[in-house]
Amino acid sequence: MAQQTETEITIETRGRGLFEFTAEVTAWVSEHARGTGLLTLFLRHTSASLLIQENADADVLRDLETFFAALVPDDPARYRHVTEGPDDMPAHIRAALTQTQLSIPVSGGALVLGTWQGIYLYEHRTAGHVRKVALHLLTG
Amino acid sequence: MAQQTETEITIETRGRGLFEFTAEVTAWVSEHARGTGLLTLFLRHTSASLLIQENADADVLRDLETFFAALVPDDPARYRHVTEGPDDMPAHIRAALTQTQLSIPVSGGALVLGTWQGIYLYEHRTAGHVRKVALHLLTG
Amino acid sequence: MAQQTETEITIETRGRGLFEFTAEVTAWVSEHARGTGLLTLFLRHTSASLLIQENADADVLRDLETFFAALVPDDPARYRHVTEGPDDMPAHIRAALTQTQLSIPVSGGALVLGTWQGIYLYEHRTAGHVRKVALHLLTG
């Protein structure tokens, strides 16, 4: 008989970049999950993203940020929406190009993440922000 | 005991751009949800997308469209797949870069959307189309 | 009363490109689903993606690859993370720009895929790889 559990995780970012929170998610899931299940993470903001990425080499995260900074320049001349700063509209575009939500199956009580997969919050604003991620867990 | 409900929403677009349908989704969810739940929206087309974006300033939506129009030009010389018009292959690429599906947790009977988050259908074709979005709701 | 089922599909890719596996997914779903449900697919790798795309014209897949190859060049001079080959960091970036996970509602025992929608694994590495996709199915 399927059951549901929910919580919210708060992440304080320190400006633009990727912040891994796999351990925090895994700890909560292992408290509540047995057997088969489904975890859904939802970011309650439009200027940051959720991302599954490689967690073995920190250079991957730096290269990712370099790519997005070049693809979506912080150049106010390109945008109409500039009142919240030169990094705000780029943040919305980066969010559109990545994900606001992730669902990860649970098997044998654990997330089916691959060996090198980590769960990241990608902060797109240059200043630090307090970000809230809603978690929903379906369990057996 | 978890239960499921489903429906389909039809959206008539008026050409390229973002069409918010948060109110229609929220109304259906509030009819069926109590307590904890999970809503999944799935777009049944490959030349449009679903997107969570800021709904406070319409300039965000215009800047987003300007960005995608520059990133994926409607230039038939770049594509093989051109029989359905110069905007068709760009529409498929835009769809690949954004989302076909969104899942949003429900807490206390309401979607956990952040203050400025709206649910949008992003039409990528230049002509208006009738778009179908399948909704699945898991409730307590 | 909602129930859960799970499995894993293995896909052997033959290098960069899109590999459709709609038939394999549909077969498994039709074995287990009746009425309303929700299928979630999760790719256990960070250098490939899951994608819903048009399955009517193979040129769509070729144009998509041409676009991504130009957007994210296999140019080691652009990246720090190069030890696994010139195509590895571009693979992680392509994965960030596309999806690691897809959820598709089930209605009347069948996926609600639109007429032209196919489910693809998008291999971003130039060499073939063995890729594992976890499937989770919620049924009535």
Superfamily, domain B3-7+16-139: YjbQ-like (2.60.120.460)
If you measure CA to CA, which chain C residue comes closest to A93? Answer: C97
At C74-116, the pLDDT tens digits run 999 999 999 899 999 999 999 999 999 999 999 999 999 999 9
Helix (H, G, I), strand (E, B) or coil at A27: helix
| Contact residues, chain C, for A105 at CB < 8 Å | 6, 40, 42, 134-136
- What's this model's pTM, rounded to 2 decimal places? 0.98
- Which of B48, B46, B42 lies closest to B16 in space, CA to CA? B48
| C14 vs A: CB within 8 A | no
DSSP C99: B
Cβ–Cβ under 8 Å, residues C114 and B95: no
Contact C99/B at CB under 8 A = yes
Tokens representing A27 are: 């700890």
Chain A residues in contact with B113 (beta carbon < 8 A): 44
Closest approach of chain B CAs to the CA of A108, in angstroms?
A: 20
Q: How many CB atoms lie within 10 A of CB C77?
A: 7
Identify the pLDDT of residue C54: 93
Give the number of beta-carbon pairs within 8 Å between A and B: 91
- A20 CA to chain C: closest CA distance, Å? 15
A71 chain-B contacts, CB cut-off 8 A: 71
Chain B residue closest in CA terms to A98:
B98
Which residues 25-64 in chain C show a CB within 8 A of chain A? 40, 42, 44-47
Residue A96's pLDDT is 98
Contact state of A53 with C89 under an 8 Å Cβ cutoff? no
Provide, as residue numbers in chain C, all residues whose Cβ is less than 8 Å from the Cβ of A102. Answer: 100-101
B89 interface with C at CB cutoff 8 Å: yes
Select the residue of B96, B100, B134 nearest C64 (Cβ to Cβ).
Answer: B96
Percentage of chain A with pLDDT > 90?
Answer: 95
Q: Which among A80, A92, A134 has the least Cβ separation from residue B112?
A: A134
**Beta carbons of C40 and A97 less than 8 Å apart:** no
Given the structure tokens 């319409």, which residue do they identify? B58
CA dihedral B93, B95, B98, B102 (to 10 degrees): -160
Determine whether B62 is exposed, middle or buried from the number of CB atoms within 10 Å of its CB (0-12, 13-18, 19+): middle
Quick one: average pLDDT of B113-125? 97
Q: Quick one: DSSP state of residue A112?
A: -
List of E strands, chain B: 3-12, 17-20, 37-43, 48-54, 101-107, 110-111, 117-123, 130-139
**Ranges B48-52, B93-97, C82-86, C110-114: which has the least confidence:** C82-86
Q: How far is A103 from chain B (nearest CA, A)?
A: 8
Residue of A nearest to B140 (CA): A4
Which residue of C lies nearest to B135 if distances are taken between CA atoms? C105
**C-beta atoms of B60 and A89 within 8 A:** yes
Residues in chain B within 8 Å Cβ distance of A89: 60, 63
Set of chain B residues whose Cβ sits within 8 Å of the Cβ of C4: none
Asked whether this complex has an ipTM greater than 0.90, the answer is: yes
- Tell me phi and psi for residue B25, to 5 degrees: -65, -45
Assign C63 to helix, strand or coil.
helix
Mean pLDDT of chain C: 97
Residue A2 pLDDT > 90: no
Q: State pLDDT tens for residues A9-64.
A: 999 999 999 999 999 999 999 999 999 999 999 999 999 999 999 998 999 999 99
Bridge partners of B49, per DSSP, are: B122
For residue B116, give every residue at least 6 positions away whose Cβ sits within 8 Å of its Cβ, in sequence order, or none. A46, B54, B55, B56
Distance spanning both ends of chain B, measured CA to CA: 6
> Which contiguous run of DSSP H or E holds residue A97?
helix A88-97
Nearest by Cα to C98 from C131, C134, C59, C50 = C50
Helices (H), chain C: 22-32, 58-71, 88-97
Percent of chain B whose predicted confidence (pLDDT) is above 70: 99
Contacts A137 to B, Cβ<8 Å: none
What distance in Å separates the CA atoms of residue B35 and residue B40, rounded to the nearest whole number?
16
Say yes or no to pLDDT of A75 above 90. Answer: yes
- Residues of B in Cβ contact (< 8 Å) with A100: 52, 102, 117
The CATH number given to A3-139 is: 2.60.120.460
